[in-house]
Amino acid sequence: MNNIFSNAISFIKENLSITYSLFLVILIPVAFFINSYLINSNYEKNIDKIMQKKAVLVENTINTLIQNQFSDMPAIQSSIDRIMNDNKEIISLSILKPQEGGEEFEIIASGNKNIIGQKQEGQTQNLLAWNNPEGIAFLDRGNDGRFWEVTKSLSDISGKKIGLIDMSFSLKESDALINKTINDSNLILILTILFVILLIANQARLLGYVLTVTKLKEVDKMKDMFISMASHELRSPLTAIKGYLDLLKTEKDAAMVGHYIENISLSAQRLNNLVEDVLEVSRIEGNRLPIEMTIFDPGPIISQSLEEMRYSAMQKGLALNYVSPQTVLQIKADQDRFKQVLVNLISNAIKYTEKGAISVSVVVKKDKFLITVADTGIGMSTEDQANLFQKFYRIKNDYTKNVIGTGLGLWITLELIKRMQGKITVESIEGVGSHFTVHLPLASK
């Protein structure tokens, strides 16, 4: 998971323009959806308020029409019929007259003639409207959709309350308009999403081209670096071998002959290491590197690796220390690759340390086995640490220019550790030294 996250961060940093484009492609439909939702919601609220005001206005108009003819029932009924014919939004309209006691009302005129004469007693809606000069209104829903239920007191010219008007004002047409607007918005949103999907598909194809071109550039750069590295690394030992062979042709002193042969052997070993590194890179990149995970005690392999490297450390006057664990540990890894990693790290520590010591220590943290190779060498900057595990990367300063190497060792080390389900971390301070820590799983986990 950490590797995936790190790779994603690395890709984003290396392809900011592509990442920005993909972000916009996703943001556009999301922003459009949010905008459409907010607009439609506000539109529906505003329509509801407008229709409520219209319902109250109609009631006020009705009040004005009938306040002078409240005793003339035929005239009131005629006015109601005319109003309902002219206003299709009104689905019910009734005039109620208060009875003695003030808690009972009789329907004296209505758009529904079947309910004329009916009495309504104790209805909260009527009582609230009768005692509230502004009347009451609330949204309700029926078989035909939403409607405003408005009840308001009627007054004569003198302002005296003479009855109630009860009206249901349909929102069917406004809801249909709102639904049409929402459907249109959804259709536009779907078309936008389809367009974005096509854009993403095209972007993905372009991204594939970009990645291919980027990869080709990297390969071309790696090729140039490899040619440069190989020509330099091959030329030096070959020149040395050729020179010592020429000297051997005329040398009579047995001691010098032995010295020349030893140098030829060292140069040949250097050539062999170069070829082995290149072959190892080829096997790793071609996924042809065999890894056999087994459970074993790492202690003997650590001790053996230290003994193999002790002579190299002694030649530079460096101490080689090992802090062994107090208990026997079992880890799960490839034994040969584990030793290869350890030798690479110790060899590097010796190579880049002029004086002091190389220390190898082992600790256990939770379910992980941690082995640290620490040196008192030249150390490295933060920038160098960020690029340290790249192929052919070598730190360039006055000290390292005289140190031989291909720049492949740490890349190979990283790949081997990853294939053993582990990781490697580095801490370093320029002029103080470096700590390389390998994290591998314990066998019990």
Higher model confidence: residue 321 or residue 270? 321
8 Å CB contact between 237 and 268: yes
Mean pLDDT of 258-283: 78
Banded model confidence at residue 372, pLDDT cuts 50, 70, 90: very high
Together in a domain, 319 and 353: yes
- Both tokens assigned to 320: 């080689």
Whether 20 maps to a domain, the answer reads: no
Of the listed ranges 21-35, 186-200, 232-246, the least confidently predicted one is 21-35
Residue 19's closest CA among 217, 218, 211? Answer: 211
pLDDT at 208: 67
Examine the fold and report which residue of 170, 196, 213 is the final residue of a domain before the chain moves on: 170
* 344 vs 422: CA distance, rounded Å: 16
Instruction: Clarify whether residues 323 and 340 are in a common domain.
Output: yes
State mean pLDDT over 200-226. 68
- Kindly report the three-state secondary structure assignment for every residue of 273-327: HHHHHHHHHHHHHCCCCCCCCEEECCHHHHHHHHHHHHHHHHHCCCEEEEECCCC
Residue 260 placed within a domain? yes
Cβ(382)–Cβ(344) under 8 Å? no
328 and 435 housed in the same domain = yes
Tokens of 170: 């349909």
194 band by pLDDT with thresholds 50, 70 and 90: confident
Burial class (CB in 10 A: 0-12, 13-18, 19+), 409: buried
My answer on whether 185 and 164 are in the same domain is no
State which H helix or E strand residue 263 sits in: helix 254-285
Q: What is the pLDDT of residue 9?
A: 64
Residue 191 CA to residue 200 CA, distance in Å, equals: 14
DSSP lists the bridge partners of residue 169 as 90, 148
The 10s digit of each residue's pLDDT in 31-78 is 767 777 777 677 667 766 676 676 666 667 676 666 666 667 788 788
Write the single-letter amino acid at 255.
A
Rounded average pLDDT over 7-14: 59
Integer Cα distance of 385 and 371 in angstroms:
19
Would 11 be classed as within a structural domain? no
Q: What is the predicted pLDDT for the residue at 291?
A: 87
Instruction: Enumerate the H helices of 15-93 as residue ranges.
Output: 16-66, 73-86
Q: Average pLDDT in the 17-31 region?
A: 67
Q: How confident is the model over 380-393, as a mean pLDDT?
A: 82
pLDDT band at 417 (very low <50, low <70, confident <90, very high): very high
**pLDDT > 90? residue 338:** yes
Q: Is 80 exceeded by the pLDDT of residue 229? A: no
Q: Report the predicted TM-score, pTM, of the whole model to 2 decimal places.
A: 0.49
Name the band, by pLDDT with cuts 50, 70 and 90, for residue 210: low
Is residue 89 in some structural domain?
Answer: yes
- CB proximity list for 367: less than 8 A, separation 6 or greater: 441, 442, 444, 445
- 43 and 166 fall within a common domain: yes
Measure the CA–CA gap between 419 and 37, rounded to whole angstroms.
50
Both 72 and 89 in a single domain? yes
pLDDT at 333 over 80: yes
The pLDDT, as a whole number, for residue 345 is: 92
What pLDDT digit, counting tens, does each position of 82-130 carry? 888 887 888 888 888 888 776 788 888 888 888 888 888 778 888 888 8
- Last-in-domain residue among 139, 170, 201: 170
Q: Which residue is associated with the tokens 């690759």?
A: 337
pLDDT at 206: 66
Percent of the chain with pLDDT over 70: 78
Residues 359 and 243 in one domain: no
Asked if the model's pLDDT at residue 223 lies above 80, the reply is no
Mean pLDDT, residues 358-372 taken together: 90
* CB-CB contact of 418 with 398 (8 Å): no
Over residues 278-324, the pLDDT tens digits come to: 777 778 777 888 889 999 999 999 999 999 888 889 988 999 998 88
Specify if 165 maps to a domain.
yes
Residue 149 CA to chain centroid, in angstroms? 50
State which residues form the domain around 280: 179-285
- Asked whether residue 383 is domain-assigned, the answer is yes
Q: At 245, which amino acid appears?
A: L
Indicate the pLDDT class of residue 375, thresholds 50, 70 and 90: very high
Q: Identify the helix (H) or strand (E) that includes residue 333.
A: strand 331-333
| CATH at residue 154 | 3.30.450.20
Residues constituting the chain: 445
Residues 6+ apart with CB under 8 A from 168: 90, 91, 92, 93, 140, 147, 148, 149, 150
Domain containing residue 190: CATH number:
1.10.287.130
Q: Are residues 190 and 280 in the same domain?
A: yes
Same domain for 37 and 145: yes
User: Which tens digits make up the pLDDT trace of 142-186?
Assistant: 777 888 788 888 887 777 888 888 888 887 877 777 778 777 777
Least confident residue range of 40-44, 121-125, 132-136, 417-421: 40-44
Give the number of domains in the chain.
3
Average pLDDT over every residue of 194-204: 71
Domain assignment present for residue 9? The answer is: no
Q: Are 350 and 358 within 8 A, CB to CB?
A: yes
Residues 187 and 281 in one domain: yes
Which residue, 141, 170, 199, sits at the end of a domain? Answer: 170
Higher-pLDDT residue of 313, 326: 313
